[in-house]
Structure 1
């Protein structure tokens, strides 16, 4: 056997054994939920959250799937990116649910799905701890942006 062939076999074996040692994320990490208090009515939270979806994502009409002002619930799809190997950026889509009540709201992020492959059109639910951890880090940033958006000074000002 040549040195080249031996090196190839060692590299493949190392790669396969690394895949076998991937640690799955705990079930509790496959969803992120937060409750925030804001000095807004239920309808103000609902309306401004719809505005936030429109500014945070490319097309809010495609992003928002359910918007019920009576219940204060908005369910939509969001997207972020992770780099599981450090070499390739992978888009990750998720479900975002916002439930508004007077002076508070709850956000729930779930259904993390990575889009892999040459054309990033091969969806797979994320389960490994490293990828889920990266998604949760991005979600915390996204969640903080929603809170900042809702807490901004005088969003309805006509003085422009």
Structure 2
């Protein structure tokens, strides 16, 4: 995905040309391609950002938006890293996600971005990422950008049969 496309999408949300976008708009950009079976719940979670005293005032910069787009482009590596960290720790925490993004994908996510990701995708509010839905939303988004008809790709790692071979590779 080109830098121009990322800039266009960012400017769509940056209506006041402040070079930042509201947390809610960032959340909506993440769930834009979510599975239709789950999209209403994810949209509701994005809406609840406005009820959180900390998150409702957060603004995401273009650099943060671009870093997240870079992470989406490295989805297969991110998927493997998330399941590797998740297998080691049981459940994925905010620090696990940041570590996986940085060490495996070379992308540094800010605390603000991670807080918004967790607000939307920590479905039961236990402090752990609902990683399958998060990865599925990202995978669908990338598929829509590159090949709207294709839906395979990195999400094969979500298949339980593939997880054991993934763990073998990471040892």
TM-score (norm 1): 0.29
Higher strand share: 1
TM-score (norm 2): 0.28
Higher helix share: 2
Q: Which has the larger radius of gyration?
A: 1
